[in-house]
Amino acid sequence: MFSSLLAADPEVHASVVAEVTRQRHDLELIASENHASLAVMEAMGSPLTNKYAEGLPGRRYYGGCEHVDVVENIARKRARELFTVEGCPLGVNVQPHSGAQANSAVFLTLMQPGDTFLGLDLSHGGHLTHGSPVNSSGKIYQAFHYTLREDGYLDMDQVRDLARKHRPKVIVCGASAYPRTIDFAAFGAIAREVDAVLMADIAHIAGLVAAGVHPSPFPHCDVVTTTTHKTLRGPRGGLILAKRERIKAMNSAVFPGTQGGPLMHVIAAKAVAFGEALQPSFRIYQQQVLENASAMADRLVERGHRLVSGGTDNHLMLLDLSDHPLSGKDAENLLGSAGITVNKNTVPGERRSPFVTSGVRLGTPAMTTRGMQRAEAVQVADWIADLLASPSDATLLARVRADLHALCGQFPLYPELGGGGAA
């Protein structure tokens, strides 16, 4: 596998192969990760990486852009097709290098330094770029945060009260760890009442939205940002969608506002991924993501575990270990040693430090890409519950690890790459 890399640089090659092997053998339950197709990865690994193309198609600052112009236009057209709702024409910018870059470009167009905005608190499922004091969004602008209710759902009364009190320029909705449907219409009504611009960061749920299994942020939101590599299953990158009249300002904020040359190889991979997401099979995939998450959540609850909000409507769930002897960090390590990759996560009312946490975030996009269904989701939930109940049982750990590897072998990942079998 990767013979040119092997010949040129055996040291890097060894680590790349080890990572492919890890992905094949282990089960990825990190809710923000997925397994992109070989076609997406081929586009990403293509010589388009060599090309400078600052500007937009037809209006570049460099010569020789005729082919990358075609690629970027395909990506833009497909993104528009994926996310447009009737009566709400959209503009898109496919150049942001990441979701964080997309968010900072959007903020640059919508606010002046010191302006006020609202976002979801990080420890309640928000994102660093939604106004955390350690991120530029929290340093340049004045951020106020809404939180979840005790039952784990968004508190729209609190959002309205904060909006009336602070009169923010921008209201940000969207989350990194929220297991329930986001009511974009309710956010829209509040934004209109206080004359704020409504921005949604749909990085986690973009694939669900594109497939029509989560309500669209349009027409309620003015601007939407996302990553392209989570449920959308494309290359690592960002994307901005905006009501058409706003896109010109967004384009300038991406380049020259916050970025230099776009990554044309990644834009080609985005085009491929958007093409995949337009296929009927993508909707079936996303429905299965939801079914697997719901089966896993139900089983964990049956096994006596508490989930934030009691369950899930989307691709992820948050295991609440506040009253469990194991912390989120302990659980991440324990499950990781069995080959189940997860991330520790803060929970509402967190009593432990953010490096330790009382929660574990679990998501089904990657396991569903491998072809796993409800039965496997229930089996994995049982393994998680067994391990958390007996964390010191070495025999159990060895058995789960062996059974998990056998299961992953039945759902091979990237078999076309060869190099040591599927699992």
Catalytic residue positions, numbered: 52, 54, 201, 227, 230, 236
DSSP H or E run through 147? none
Contact between residue 385 and residue 305 where contact means Cβ atoms under 8 Å apart: yes
Find the shortest distance in angstroms from Cβ 227 to ligand DSN: 7
Task: Using the minimum distance from each CB to ligand DSN, give the nearer residue, 127 or 329.
Answer: 127
Task: Using the minimum distance from each CB to ligand DSN, give the nearer residue, 238 or 339.
Answer: 238
Q: Where are the alpha helices (DSSP H) in 225-279?
A: 247-252, 264-277
Find the shortest distance in angstroms from Cβ 104 to ligand DSN: 13
- Map residue 220 onto helix, strand or coil: coil
With CB atoms as reference, the residue minimizing the distance to ligand DSN is: 32
Find the shortest distance in angstroms from Cβ 132 to ligand DSN: 12
Task: Using the minimum distance from each CB to ligand DSN, give the nearer residue, 238 or 275.
Answer: 238
How buried is 352 (Cβ within 10 angstroms: 0-12 exposed, 13-18 middle, 19+ buried)? middle
Beta-sheet strands, E only, within 182-332? 197-201, 223-227, 238-243, 306-307, 316-320
Find the shortest distance in angstroms from Cβ 216 to ligand DSN: 21
- Map residue 311 onto helix, strand or coil: coil
Find the shortest distance in angstroms from Cβ 220 to ligand DSN: 22
Task: Using the minimum distance from each CB to ligand DSN, give the nearer residue, 101 or 288.
Answer: 101
Task: Using the minimum distance from each CB to ligand DSN, give the nearer residue, 190 or 226.
Answer: 226
> Cα separation of 280 and 389, whole Å?
41
Q: What is the DSSP letter of 85?
A: B
Task: Using the minimum distance from each CB to ligand DSN, give the nearer residue, 210 or 407.
Answer: 210
> Cα separation of 276 and 416, whole Å?
18
Residues, the chain: 423
Find the shortest distance in angstroms from Cβ 176 to ligand DSN: 4
Find the shortest distance in angstroms from Cβ 400 to ligand DSN: 24
> Cα separation of 388 and 397, whole Å?
10
Quote the longest CA-to-CA distance of the chain: 64
DSSP H or E run through 23? helix 10-25
Which residues contact ligand DSN (rule: CB under 6 A)?
Answer: 32, 99, 127, 176
Which tokens belong to 74?
């395909």
Cα three-residue angle 255-256-259, rounded to 5 degrees? 60
Q: How many CB atoms lie within 10 A of CB 128?
A: 16
What contacts 18, CB < 8 A, 6 or more positions away? none
Q: What is the DSSP letter of 255?
A: I
